[in-house]
């Protein structure tokens, strides 16, 4: 079993979860698989950080949940983005881009 290669920056997880769910509703395992796929294996989210994040974001009104059937007939809780979640994704994307540019220029300056 491989270790997480990169520690998640504070706030990055939310953005990744929102991004993962922007493509469609997923259950918990689906979210962590999707994040692994879209980051090409850089980030691997463990249940210990995934579930608190999902519940916190649901509480904040960004996610909505409902119970459904998984691909192999297991009962699973599915999450999807709410309208507020979509807006949050846009805000955080902008924010992230701003930070990324700032960090990149800061690194270049030295």
Partner 1 sequence: MPLLSRAFSFWRNLSRKAQVDQELDEELRSYVEMLTDEKVQRGMRAEEARRSSLIEVGGIEQVKEQVREVRMGATMATFLRDVRYGARSLARSPGFTAVALLTLALGIGANTAIFSVVNAVLLRPLPFPGSGELVVVRDENGKTGETFPSVSPADFFDWKSQSRSFASLAAYSGWSVTLLDSDRPEMIPATRVTDEFFNTLRVQPLLGRTFRSDEFKADGNVVILSYRLWQRRFGGDPNVVGKTLAVEGGDITVVGVMPPEFKLPATAEAWTPVAQDSGEMHLRAARYFETVARLKPNVAPSQAEAEMRTIAARLASQYPESDSNWSVLIEPLRETLVGDVRPALLILFGAVGLVLLIACGNVANLVLARATTRHKELAIRASLGASRWHITRQLITESLMLTCTGGALGALLAQWCVGAIVWLVPKGLRFPRIEEAHVDTAVLGFTFAVALLAGAVLGLITGMKASRADLHESLKEGGRSATAGWRVQRARGAMVVAEIALTLVLLAGAGLLIKSLMRLQHVELGFNPEKLLAVPVGASMSKYAQPESRAAYFERLAAQVQAEPGVQSVATASCPPMMYTMYFPFAIEGRANPNEVPQAWYNAVSPNYFSLMGIGLLEGREFTDHDRAGASNAAVINETMRRRYFAGEDPVGKHLTVNYLNTPMSLEVVGVVKDIKQESLAAQANAQIYVSYLQVPWFSTTLIIRTENDPGALIPSVQRAISSVDPTQAGSGAKTMEQLLSDSAAQPRFYSLLLGVFAALALLLAAVGIYGVISYAVAQRTHEIGVRMALGAQRRDVLKLVIGQGMILVLAGTIIGLGAAFALTRVMKSLLYEVGATDPATFVGVTALLALVALLACLLPARRATKVDPIMVLRHE
The phi and psi torsions of 2 (rounded to 5 degrees) equal -85, 150
Asked if 5 is part of the footprint of partner 1 (rule: CB under 8 A), the reply reads no
The position carrying tokens 């955080």 is 92
Q: Is the CB of residue 64 less than 8 Å from the CB of residue 79? A: yes
Site size for partner 1, by CB under 8 A?
Answer: 28
Among 2, 10, 48, 109, binds partner 1 (CB under 8 A): 48
Among 12, 25, 39, 77, binds partner 1 (CB under 8 A): 77
CA within 13 Å, CB half, 22: 16
Asked if 82 is part of the footprint of partner 1 (rule: CB under 8 A), the reply reads yes
- Closest separation between CB of residue 96 and partner 1, Å? 17
Q: Is the CB of residue 82 less than 8 Å from the CB of residue 93? A: no
Give 101's contacts (C-beta < 8 A, 6+ positions apart).
none
> In this structure, what token pair is assigned to residue 84?
């507020």
Among 22, 25, 38, 51, binds partner 1 (CB under 8 A): 51
Asked if 2 is part of the footprint of partner 1 (rule: CB under 8 A), the reply reads no
Under the rule (CB under 8 A), what is the footprint of partner 1?
1, 27-29, 46-48, 51-53, 55-56, 59-61, 64, 70, 72, 74-77, 82-84, 87-88, 91
């Amino acid at each position: 079993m491989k270790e997480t290669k990169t520690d998640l920056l504070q706030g990055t997880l939310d953005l990744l979860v929102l991004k993962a769910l922007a493509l469609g509703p997923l259950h918990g395992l689906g979210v962590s698989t999707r994040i692994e796929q879209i980051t090409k294996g850089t980030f691997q989210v463990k249940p210990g950080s995934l579930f608190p994040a999902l519940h916190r974001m649901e509480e904040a009104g960004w996610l909505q949940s409902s119970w459904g059937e998984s691909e192999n007939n297991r009962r699973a809780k599915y999450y999807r983005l709410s309208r507020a979640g979509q807006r949050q994704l846009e805000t955080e994307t902008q924010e992230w881009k701003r930070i990324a540019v700032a960090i990149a220029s800061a690194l270049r300056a030295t």
